[in-house]
Amino acid sequence: MRGAFINTLSKLAKKNTDIFLLTGDLGYSVIEGFQKDFPRRFFNIGVAEANMAGIAAGLALSGKTVFMYSIVPFVTMRCFEQVRNDICIQNLKVRIIGAGGGLCYGSAGPTHHSIEDISIMRSLPNMTVICPGDPLEAELAVRSSENYPGPVYIRLGKSKESAVHAGIKGFKIGKGILINEGRDVAIIATGNMLHTASQVTKGLVRKGISACLISMHTVKPIDKDIIRSVALKAKAIFTVEEHSVIGGLGSAVSEVLAEEGKEICFMRIGLPDAYTKEIGSQEYLRSRLGLSANDIERRILEVYRKRIKL
């Protein structure tokens, strides 16, 4: 996804001379091409994310469209008040690009994991929150953000994510994508869990369960229409995300569902409210924390079968 991000940004920057890229000294083997092609519109701010966010605001106040890049915790939490005061209160065209969403930086440990970022960014007025699910969604999110008003947070994965979409027609920020139709179970996934969710959907279908899959790439504003018109038609609804179950996609969807005033079978599947002590790769951590395709399928089946018996 980082590759999709930088390639798309470079293409946009060729035509749009207002585009700037800032980094907090991260992005080895990612940002070099942009730096070479657009040296006057690239700044390595140094290891100083608060300053980076303030500079981004100053550039945006001067009419620039600014992309600021770092690993998720550093570009969202280290400089949180600058993001809030300088960027969100003033409603500026700054795009916060977080690399390594969720558990991408597996063995690097909890300082480099991001399990709270969607929740935190979602709480900021004016902020749009996008978690692309595959490289194509990442490309389209970056492209769509160019002329989108106000601040945008784009939560990327890392590299070599599998493609889920062969193509996407009419990608729109704030509009979920219906990937698979189904009447029994609805799975709403975001970000780097999309591929796993797609595997789970296929697994359920193989078991004779009609499973619907929605890619909810934009967590804020949440697409209420697709939740009401598609997901609510299923017998049970599940959200899947590589993020704490508190405050992320699961919370955003449950806020919509709770206000429907209907009896709904719903479950959030995400990371527990804990900093993991486990050490290992993203894949290993997912398996230890209940986010492997098998785990997710098992949990969905348990809930669904209970529901059917009722």
Partner 1 sequence: MVKKYKEIAKSARSRLIKMHAASGASHIASSLSVTDILVALYFNILRVSPEKPKDKNRDRLILSKGHAASALFTCLAARGFFPQTLLEEYCIDGGRLPGHASINCVPGLEVSTGSLGHGLSIGVGMALAAKYDREKYRVFVVLSDGECQEGAVWEAAMFAGHHKLDNIIAIIDYNKMQALGKSKEILNLEPLAKKWQSFGWAVKETGGHDIEAIIKTLKKVPFAKNKPSVLIAHTTKGKGVSFMENKLLWHYKSPDREQAESALGEIGCL
Q: What is the CA radius of gyration of the chain?
A: 19
Please state, in angstroms and rounded to a whole number, the distance separating the CA atoms of residues 118 and 96: 12
Taking the least distance from each CB to partner 1, the nearer of 79 and 296 is: 79
Backbone angles phi, psi at 107, to 5 degrees: -75, -5
Taking the least distance from each CB to partner 1, the nearer of 87 and 296 is: 87
Min. distance of Cβ 29 from partner 1 in angstroms? 24
| C-alpha closest to that of 146 among 2, 17, 1, 32 | 17
Min. distance of Cβ 290 from partner 1 in angstroms? 39
Taking the least distance from each CB to partner 1, the nearer of 82 and 244 is: 82
Min. distance of Cβ 24 from partner 1 in angstroms? 10
Q: What is the DSSP letter of 305?
A: H
Taking the least distance from each CB to partner 1, the nearer of 80 and 148 is: 80
Min. distance of Cβ 64 from partner 1 in angstroms? 6
Taking the least distance from each CB to partner 1, the nearer of 45 and 252 is: 45
Taking the least distance from each CB to partner 1, the nearer of 64 and 286 is: 64
Min. distance of Cβ 128 from partner 1 in angstroms? 20
Looking from the CA of 203 toward its CB, the CA atoms found within 13 Å total 17
Question: Residues 6 or more apart from 57 whose CB is under 8 A from it?
Answer: 82, 86, 87, 90, 92, 94
Min. distance of Cβ 18 from partner 1 in angstroms? 10
Residues of the shown chain interacting with partner 1 in the complex, contacts defined by CB under 8 A: 40-41, 43, 45-46, 48, 50-51, 53-64, 81-82, 85-86, 89-90
Cα of 104 vs its chain's centroid, Å: 12
Work out the burial of residue 17: count CB atoms within 10 Å of its CB; fewer than 13 is exposed, 13-18 middle, 19 or more buried.
exposed
